[in-house]
Amino acid sequence: MPDAPRSKPLKRPTQARSKFTVQAIYDAFVRIWSAHGWEGVTTRAVALETGIAVGTLYDYFPDKEALLSGYVRHCIEALLARLDAEVIAPADIGWQTRVQRLVRITCDTRLEGLPAFDHEMLMLEHRVAEPKHHRRVYDELADRWLKAFAACTDLQPQPSPATIHALLTAAWGGRRYRLLVQPEAGNDEWVAEMEAMVMARLSTRSLAR
């Protein structure tokens, strides 16, 4: 018997007003989840917290699983936008700074300015995410990592695509596994170690010229 189709948002906001409304819905969703957990999240509770009509909420999200689906995608898009703005776009930074930013933004689950995504959310991700969604996210991240290294014109020799994919897999896979198992070792210490590992790999290539 095939799996039931997963809930998903009905439409994406395109106008400034609708984007503001959806952002307010996501903010309310996170506040309720933080205070009352997944069981406390209902469309009615989110509408009341946001101050909008339930019907307006249903225009975007038919149920709370669809809201979770939209929020997960929102988290990914915010991360990608941060990589675009702070890692790929700047023209006046050296490769060491660019790569350190790349690793930190990819790995740090507590980075200021990015939407919250924690262990409890990861545990429910299977309700809304299919393998094709995970592949899409990986491909989008790989595209940013490849562009980030292409922007490192002062890094010679350039790492191969295989090396870049391996480093991304270590960084992104480590981030997600840490969310899963919640190790006692601090987040900042792990991110710093990941930065050091990536920099060491690239420095070894430079010395081998």
Written as tens digits, the pLDDT of the chain (209 aa) is: 445 567 889 888 888 999 999 999 999 999 999 999 999 999 999 999 999 999 999 999 999 999 999 999 999 999 999 999 999 999 999 999 999 999 999 999 999 999 999 999 999 999 999 999 999 999 999 999 999 999 999 999 999 999 999 999 999 999 999 999 998 778 899 999 999 999 999 987 654 55
Q: What is the pLDDT of residue 99?
A: 98
**Residue for token pair 């989110």:** 46
Count Cα atoms within 13 angstroms, Cβ side, for 137. Answer: 18
Q: What is the pLDDT of residue 6?
A: 73
Count Cα atoms within 13 angstroms, Cβ side, for 127. Answer: 18
Q: What are the tokens at 181?
A: 């198992």
Enter the CATH code of domain 71-207: 1.10.357
Q: What is the pLDDT of residue 2?
A: 46
Q: What is the pLDDT of residue 206?
A: 53
Residue spans per domain, the chain: 71-207
Question: Is residue 76 within 8 Å of 144, Cβ to Cβ?
Answer: no
Q: What is the pLDDT of residue 1?
A: 41
Q: What is the pLDDT of residue 123?
A: 95
The reply to whether the predicted model has a pTM over 0.85 is yes
CB within 8 Å of 14: residues ≥ 6 apart: none
Q: What is the pLDDT of residue 160?
A: 96
Question: Is residue 145 within 8 Å of 102, Cβ to Cβ?
Answer: yes
pLDDT 10s digits, 139-156: 999 999 999 999 999 999
Q: What is the pLDDT of residue 75?
A: 96
What are 189-194's contacts with CB under 8 Å, separation 24+?
190/107, 191/103, 191/104, 191/107, 191/108, 194/103, 194/107, 194/170
Q: What is the pLDDT of residue 28?
A: 96
